[in-house]
Structures are given as structure tokens and as C-alpha cells.
Amino acid sequence: MSCVSELSQSNEYLSFRSSIPLRKIVVDSDGSKAWRIFDSGPKSVNCPLICLPPVSGTADIFFKQVMGLASRGVRVIAAEPPPYWNMKEWCDGFKRLIDYLELDKVHIFGASLGGFIAQKFTELTSNCPRVASLILCNTFTDTSVFEYNDSSALFWLLPSLVLKRMLMGNFTTDKVDRRMAEAIDFMVERLESLTQSELASRLTLNCTPCYITPQALNNIPITVMDVWDESALSSRVREDLYKSYPHAKLAHLKSGGNFPYLSRSDEVNLHLLIHLRKFDGTLLSASYLSLHKMPALSVNQPEEGTVSYFNQREKFVKIS
């Protein structure tokens, strides 16, 4: 690449890469597919938070969650899958990963495609639950909302440059502040690092006709996190997600774009803590510390980072 993003040169990211090793874990019988993970926090925690990236993301896009939640004793695993070409294959591989890590259940924070697959994995394992809860960020319940549904079977033929151009169209830089622009630059850098098979397989999963059966997730605690400004998903897609999970809690960010876990990491981390603290003192706790004593938000937090949190069946509760 001709330039390097500011986030990848930041002290926080450099500290993350120097202190937390990248592990490659092969879980498939042929030995050709390796999950890449960053596992931070006490290994005594058996129900960690696993972060799943969008189509264009790698495991390290969640470095702000890994570093930010570590001080709260939360075990966070940022996971990046190898190329899987259908949903069942992906879910079987993920199940083998958590079996390898000796985890009975996990909390999943999924962004975009990562959120969709988290829902599908929860649905497919509903008879023998492996998911303790879900936090869904800028995600969807039906892949038919995307273009290229009819041509998804041909992605494996397309060169990497064409696939990257298809994704670049969602990386708008209009009406963004500095932190959002830095997040976009960082994500473009991550996109450039992906191979043709990684991109093609993810786009195939994203665009192959598939939908979630929300009734299978009725007993799973869910938080739906999204932004109020422009993102790649339309308001209709967000409304469909709300209607699918009327019992879910909603976590709104006033702004943040497509990648709020990078551009609004403090607010996202706060919502993650609020979600996880309900499991304090149980076998499903993601932290060895109590999360009920919430960290104070910075007094210098800009207005653009204002967040709100409420239950659809209860009254609106303002946090900041």
C-alpha cells in the first residue's frame, strides 16, 4: 500500500500487537484451514466474549475492545475465520474452534456479516446451545437485502481486485468526522490484506440467499447495537431486525458509521459491559471481576459520541 493508516500506527494498536499474540488454530481434518485469533484475558473464564468481523474485517479490527475490556477482567477473543463457502461449513468450523478452546458457551459480538453468522450459529445449535448471548452490531436477518444474490455462486471466479472494488463502494467518506475517517482508512488497510479466497468466500456467505428464524433465538439475551447516522444498512433493514427480536435491548449510538467499534470504541465498550454485567456471579460470566461498577465516561467526550440505551418494553433510559 502507498500509505499506512493512523490507527495502525497508534500507540494503542502497537501495544495490542506487541502484548497479545496472534494464534493460528487448525480445526479442520484436512489441516488446510486455520482460524486466526487474539485471545486476551484470564483463561480461567470459560464463557468469553468472541468478536466476529464483517466481510472486510480481520481479527485485529477489535483491538479497542480487546484492550478496553481487559482492564475489567473480561476475556475477549477476536476471531477471524478461514475461507468457508457455505453456512453449515462455517458453523461446523466455529463449533470445532470453541471445542478446541474448551469453551462450553460463549457470548458473541458480531458486526455485519459476523452478526448474521452469529445468529445462524445460535439457530443451528439451539438443540444443544453453545451461545450464552448475542450483541449484534449493524447487522441483518436476511441476505436478500444485498445486491449480487443472483451472482453469488460466481464470486470464486472473480479476481481479488474486482471483489475489493465491490466492497469499496460502502466505504463512503462523506459527512464523517476524524475518528470515522481513521476507522475507514484502517478498514481499507485490512481489506487490502485479505486474499482472493477469503474475500470471495465471505461475499458468497453474505449474498447467498439465507435468512434467520428468530423464533429459535427467543431464549437468548440479545442486545442490538446500531448507529443513527448513515451506514451501509438501510433503516428498513434495521427495523426488520428490531421486529425479529422484540425482547432485545437496543443500544443506539448517535453516530459512528459502519465501524463504530473503531470510531466510537468507548461507547461500544460501555454497551458491551452493560450487556455482560447481567451474567455477573454466574457460570456464564465473561469476567472474573464484577462488572456492576461501571467505568465513568470521559468528561471530554464529544457530543458526537452520545449514547442511549433502552429496552423495547420499558421506558427510555439516557446514559450520557
pLDDT in tens, 255-298: 888 899 999 999 999 999 999 999 998 999 999 887 766 555 44
Burial of 44 by CB count in 10 Å (0-12 exposed, 13-18 middle, 19+ buried)?
Answer: exposed
Task: Output the pLDDT for position 320.
Answer: 34
- Residues 215 and 233 sit within 8 Å (Cβ to Cβ): no
* Coil/strand/helix, residue 308: strand
| 249 backbone dihedrals φ, ψ, rounded to 5° | -90, 145
How far apart (Å, rounded) are the C-alpha atoms in residues 67 and 240? 33
Q: What is the pLDDT of residues 143-160, one digit of tens each?
A: 887 766 556 667 767 777
Q: For residues 36 and 71, which has the higher predicted lDDT (pLDDT)?
A: 36
Task: Output the pLDDT for position 301.
Answer: 45
Task: Output the pLDDT for position 170.
Answer: 65
- Residues 47 and 286 sit within 8 Å (Cβ to Cβ): yes
User: What single letter denotes the amino acid at residue 255?
Assistant: S
How far apart (Å, rounded) are the C-alpha atoms in residues 66 and 88? 28
Percent of the chain scoring above 90 in pLDDT: 59
pTM over the 0.85 mark: yes
Cβ-Cβ contacts under 8 Å for 92 (sequence gap 6 or more): none
Residue 211 has pLDDT above 60, yes or no: yes
Residue 33 has pLDDT above 90, yes or no: no
Task: Give the position of cell 435491548.
Answer: 249
Task: Output the pLDDT for position 159.
Answer: 75
pLDDT band of residue 238 (cuts 50, 70, 90) is: confident
Dihedral angle, C-alpha 305, 288, 61, 268, nearest 10 °: -20
Task: Give the position of cell 427480536.
Answer: 245
Question: Which residue, 118, 62, 72, 111, is CA-closest to 94?
Answer: 118
Q: Which three cell numbers stand for residue 16?
A: 495490542
Of 58-67, 235-244, 277-286, 298-307, minimum mean pLDDT range: 298-307
Residue 11 has pLDDT above 80, yes or no: yes
Residue 248 has pLDDT above 90, yes or no: yes
Task: Output the pLDDT for position 311.
Answer: 46
Q: From edge to edge, which strands make up the β-sheet containing 131-137? A: 22-26, 34-40, 76-80, 49-52, 106-111, 131-137, 222-227, 249-253, 307-311, 316-318
Return mean pLDDT, the chain.
85
pLDDT band of residue 175 (cuts 50, 70, 90) is: confident
Task: Output the pLDDT for position 158.
Answer: 75
Task: Output the pLDDT for position 307.
Answer: 45
Averaged pLDDT, 171-182:
79
Residue 92: in which H helix or E strand, if any?
Answer: helix 87-100
Can you point out the beta strands (E) in the chain?
22-26, 34-40, 49-52, 76-80, 106-111, 131-137, 222-227, 249-253, 307-311, 316-318
Task: Give the position of cell 486455520.
Answer: 34
Task: Output the pLDDT for position 308.
Answer: 45
pLDDT band of residue 318 (cuts 50, 70, 90) is: very low
